[in-house]
Amino acid sequence: MMPGFKVAIDGPAGSGKSTISKRVAKQLNLTHIDTGAMYRAITYMALEKKINLDDEESYKFMEDVKVRYEKERIYVNDLDVTSLIRSDLVTRNVSKVSSFPYVRKILVHIQKQAAENIDVIMDGRDIGTVVLPNADLKIFLTAAVKERAKRRQKDKEELGIKQDIDSLESEIIERDLKDSTRKESPLVCADDAIVIDTTHYTIEDTTNRIIEEILKKEKYHGRTTNEGR
Ligand code: CDP
């Protein structure tokens, strides 16, 4: 048996993956890794370096870049970019950057390595299908697009940014379309994933629902890693 208990959380933009994964991780002593933050970090770097975002070759700069997600912070070459990756400019460009096989190959490798031998909950778009195909539990989170736009609006308000709901909704629709139609590991629901529609659920409800599923797994109770975390 592979060491470590693995949970894969996938789903479209604004379905609550990161918020919920973070909470489940805290309550059950798992390490949380937000893979979307890694794609955002590379997008941020690409914009900083002013490379041609449409040319796959120009992403070779990734050879000299170390990406690391640790304790809910994201680093590139030890620079903490946690706040910088949430900019609108990064959000608008991340689906393009993450569509390149070269970019995905490097990040998927880092993600697989990071999940080795630990108890982990990883969230993204291709976790149950590509990164952790043998995960002990796979969850696919969805919610009606209107509700997801509302959640994003609230997140932004907390940061002091006002944006109208219609433009947020169209941004989400566009990103989902790009993510689910790209050739390389698109956003799809794994055959063996449990689908949870969170439209009418609170964060608490969804967190508890996932915890319930984890506690049903014998392997979770017999896990030997992450002790004392
Ligand atoms: O905005 P939200 O939190 O929903 O998205 P995110 O998890 O931060 O991911 C940002 C973008 O990264 C997605 O829209 C995808 O284009 C890309 N991504 C991906 O391709 N594969 C992953 N495993 C995670 C994110």
Q: Which atom of ligand 1 is nearest to the CA of 152?
A: 1
Domain assignment present for 209: yes
pLDDT in tens, 77-111: 999 999 999 999 999 999 999 999 999 999 999 99
Domain assignment present for 226: no
Domain assignment present for 219: no
**CA 106 – CA 108 distance, rounded (Å):** 6
Supply the CATH number for residue 173's domain.
Answer: 3.40.50.300
- DSSP codes of every residue in 157-215: HHTT----HHHHHHHHHHHHHHHHH-SSS-S---TTPEEEE-TT--HHHHHHHHHHHHH
- DSSP codes of every residue in 74-100: EEETTEE-TTGGGSHHHHHHHHHHTT-
pLDDT in tens, 172-223: 999 999 999 999 999 999 999 999 999 999 999 999 999 999 999 999 998 8
Overall domain count for the chain: 1
**CA 180 – CA 226 distance, rounded (Å):** 34
- CA torsion angle 119 123 127 131 (round to 10): -60
Q: Mean of the pLDDT values across residues 129-135?
A: 97
Q: Would you say the C-alpha torsion 49, 55, 60, 66 has a positive or negative sign? A: positive
Ligand 1 within 6 A of 125 CB? yes
Domain assignment present for 227: no
Domain holding 198, by residue range, is 6-214
Q: Whose CA is nearest to atom 10 of ligand 1?
A: 36
The model's pTM is: 0.94
pLDDT of residue 222: 84
**CA 45 – CA 115 distance, rounded (Å):** 24
Domain assignment present for 222: no
Q: Mean of the pLDDT values across residues 10-34?
A: 96
**Band of the pLDDT at 228, cuts 50, 70, 90?**
very low
Ligand 1 within 6 A of 36 CB? yes
